[in-house]
């Protein structure tokens, strides 16, 4: 079947279903770290150590005294350093301790972990997929996501048997 319709999704698409905007991702994560039901692990400790070492921001504190950089800024700085083969104090690239590479992986996983709690059966993404499925045009539809997530890909059609 040929593609007849293309949906281009930006940040508003996932935000409408509860995903934080990129500029609020780290603030949302910080709040989640200090929620009563939070179960912090070694990844959280590594992220906290990175922010303290590189930005001088005490992520472990319940109240932040300085503004957080955007997620895009933090990941961009790490990506540039990795591409250049550079490291930061306490976050090196040595094969025996690739801590900076692991920090990049932690931040990417952070997105996935935060999105695991977003969306419901009556989400806008789900309604769109169900509507396209119901009218028989889902297989002739493509989605392009400009987001840091691929949230639309996580939504199953209403009838997964067809």
Annotated domain spans of the chain: 5-17+119-154, 22-115
Q: Which two tokens stand for residue 40?
A: 């912090």
| pTM of the predicted protein model | 0.71
Mean pLDDT over the full length of the chain: 82
- Which residue has tokens 């806008």? 124
Q: What are phi and psi of 108, to 5 degrees?
A: -65, -40
Is residue 74 predicted with pLDDT exceeding 90?
yes
pLDDT at 158 over 60: no
CA distances (Å), origin 19, targets 2, 5, 12, 136, 149:
31, 25, 9, 28, 9
The pairs formed by 31-36 with CB atoms below 8 angstroms and a separation of 24 or more are 32/114, 33/59, 34/62
In this structure, are residues 92 and 100 in contact, taking their beta carbons and an 8 Å threshold? yes
């Amino acid at each position: 079947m040929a593609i007849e319709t293309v949906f281009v999704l930006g940040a508003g698409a996932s935000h409408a279903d509860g995903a934080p905007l990129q500029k609020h991702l780290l603030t949302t994560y910080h709040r989640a770290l200090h929620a009563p039901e939070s179960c912090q692990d070694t990844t959280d400790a590594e992220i906290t150590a990175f922010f303290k070492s590189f930005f001088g921001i005490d992520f472990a504190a319940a109240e932040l005294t300085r503004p957080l950089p955007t997620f895009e800024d933090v990941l961009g700085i790490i990506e540039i350093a990795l591409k250049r083969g550079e490291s930061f104090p306490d976050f090196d690239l040595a094969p025996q301790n690739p801590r900076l590479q692991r920090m990049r992986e932690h931040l990417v996983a952070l997105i996935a972990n935060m999105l695991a709690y977003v969306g419901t059966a009556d989400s806008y993404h789900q309604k769109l997929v169900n509507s396209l499925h119901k009218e028989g045009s889902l297989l002739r539809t493509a989605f392009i996501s400009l987001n840091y997530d691929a949230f639309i890909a996580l939504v199953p059609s209403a009838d997964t048997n067809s």
